[in-house]
Amino acid sequence: MENENIMNYELKNKGFSLTEVLMAIGIFSVAMIFIAGAFPVAIHFTTIASEQTIAAVVADEAFAKIRLYGVNPLDPNMQSGRTIQVPFENVKVTDINPNEFAYPSDPAVDISQKQYYWSAICRRVGNIGSRDVQVTVFVSRKIGTGTTYYVRDDYANWTNWPGLVTVDYPAAVPVGVQAGGVNDEIVITDLDLPIDPHEETFVNDGYTIVEDSTGQVYRVLQRYGAPAGTVQLDKVWNANGTYPLTTYVWVIPPPATGGRYPCVGVFQKVIRF
């Protein structure tokens, strides 16, 4: 009888109490919240890493095509104009099919189905007559087949400067700026044209910009609400002593209808043509 009572006592104490179950559920719930929170972060960084890899591949292809189609360092567009940098398509030697600006450039794939695009600006470097050209390639993504982006109208002839028109792919756009009150700040010059958007919106936190006269690449740390159009850069602003005159920076603006920043990488090379 005594042995039987001992066995019954041991059997009764094999389970968990309600308090223990609730504590276990609580700990499990907290752990799952942390795990669930980590997934979006992991996906975000994985996407960034993947796009940076793709951007490098697209840039390599772009530089190869620019070498293939050629740039004329003595082209009149490289000698004068409102800006020092010139879009590649305005100084190319050989005609280039618009499909070549999309990635992958497989002609069997319809251009409307392609997600990545590149645009390039060129600046002659060295002495007069130099054939060295600094080429800056912007690699961007396009989301949605109906998304449009702003570019300057009739850049080559300057007849409609500085008007803006929309196109179906992201491309680098020159935006007027002046030096700010602090050496790492600039102020966006909003031309306030009646049919154009406020150009202050072309440069925002995290954007990459390229200064026109030097080709220097800057990262935008933040854009202030006041004074309007003032942005802080990741290093001291240097635009060949243009203050207080207006110079230009090149940037991939956001979609015309709003949305995610399209630029995924900016790459530079000096190429001799």
Whether residue 28 lies inside any domain: the answer is: no
Instruction: Tell me whether the omega of the peptide bond preceding residue 194 falls within 30 degrees of 0, making it cis.
Output: no
Helix (H, G, I), strand (E, B) or coil at 253: coil
Global pTM reads 0.78
140 domain residue, yes or no? yes
15 lies in some domain: no
Question: By residue range, what is the domain housing residue 87?
Answer: 43-172+252-272
Task: Please check whether residue 229 lies inside any domain of the structure.
Answer: no
Domain count, the chain: 1
Residue with tokens 């005609």: 95
Walk along the chain (273 residues) and give the pLDDT tens digit of each residue.
555 555 555 555 556 676 766 777 778 777 777 666 655 655 554 556 677 788 899 999 999 999 999 999 888 877 766 678 999 988 899 988 888 899 887 777 777 778 899 999 999 988 777 889 999 999 999 887 788 898 887 655 555 566 788 888 899 999 888 888 888 999 988 665 555 667 888 999 999 999 998 899 999 999 887 777 899 999 999 876 444 467 889 999 999 888 888 999 999 999 999
User: How many CA atoms within 13 Å lie on the side-chain side of 26?
Assistant: 6
What are the counts of helices (DSSP H) followed by strands (DSSP E) for the chain? Answer: 2, 13
pLDDT of residue 242: 46
Specify whether the CB–CB gap between 203 and 188 falls below 8 A: yes
Give a yes or no: residue 30 inside a domain: no
Q: Decide if 122 is inside a domain.
A: yes
What sign does the CA torsion over 164, 262, 211, 218 have? positive
Q: Is residue 37 part of a domain?
A: no
Q: Is 70 contained in some domain?
A: yes
